[in-house]
Amino acid sequence: MSIADIHFQQKTLLCSSSHHGHEGAFSPNGTFCITQRVCDFQLDQFGVVNNSVYCNYLEHCRSEAFHALGFNVHETARQGKALALSQLNLAYRRPLRSRDTFEVKMWVERVTGARVVLGQDIFLRATGEQVLTAEAIIVWLDSQYRPMRVPPVERAAFQTLYEQGFRRHGKVVE
């Protein structure tokens, strides 16, 4: 077993052991994973998680991933810039119910000069069933809230994650 394999197992255990959504980790393939549990107040009148709550689950995963990368959204704002979600597309597969434990995963699908496109999935921990798949488009805004280019440090970090995903899937990195 290599050091990379041990590191990956430690990160996987860290992700899998967190039921309150306060920990998460990047795997060697550039995917961030966080485990959360459904709370009763998140249910609708049909006994399943309300559709709007899934956006919160996805946002929490993105926020924790950005934090793990060392990005401080508040510091970015103090510098006169803003990080914004410009688009979120969801495809629901199955509902979550009270006390379900689930994993939210996030990876980089594309990095351009002006945006970062993230893929996200939610899986039920007990069965591995896919609950939801999503695509989130993140942009940076200047102090006037006009779109700006992705800052170099952030772009490099997201590009590295993108390339890690390509290596894992046997694709050629340009």
Q: What is the pLDDT of residues 89-104, one digit of tens each?
A: 999 999 999 999 999 9
- Mean pLDDT of all residues in 37-66: 96
- Mean pLDDT of all residues in 62-79: 88
Q: What is the pLDDT of residue 171?
A: 47
- Flag the least confident range among 54-58, 107-111, 169-173: 169-173
CA separation for the pair 147, 157 (Å, rounded): 19
Kindly report the backbone phi and psi dihedral angles of residue 11, in degrees, each rounded to the nearest multiple of 5, phi listed first. Answer: -65, -40
| pLDDT above 50 (res 109) | yes
Q: For the chain, give the mean pLDDT.
A: 85
The whole-angstrom distance between residue 70's C-alpha and the CA centroid of its chain comes to 14
% of the chain surpassing 90 pLDDT: 71
Nearest to 57 by CA among 112, 132, 159: 132
pTM of the model: 0.82
Q: What is the pLDDT of residue 72?
A: 85
Q: Mind telling me the catalytic residues?
A: 44
Q: What is the pLDDT of residue 51?
A: 94
| pLDDT above 90 (res 8) | no
Q: What is the pLDDT of residue 78?
A: 85
Measure the CA dihedral 159/161/165/167, to 10°.
70
- Mean pLDDT of all residues in 75-79: 84
pLDDT tens by residue, 21-47:
457 999 999 999 999 999 999 999 999
CATH architecture for segment(s) 3-168: Roll (3.10)
Q: What is the pLDDT of residue 167?
A: 56
CA separation for the pair 134, 59 (Å, rounded): 11
Measure the CA dihedral 155/160/125/20, to 10°.
-50
Please state the domain extents for the chain.
Answer: 3-168
- Residues linked to residue 26 through DSSP beta bridges, in sequence order: 32
Q: What is the pLDDT of residue 19?
A: 42
| pLDDT above 80 (res 12) | no
The whole-angstrom distance between residue 2's C-alpha and the CA centroid of its chain comes to 27
Amino acid type, 132: L
Per DSSP, the chain holds a count of helices (H) and strands (E) of: 4, 7
CA separation for the pair 118, 98 (Å, rounded): 28
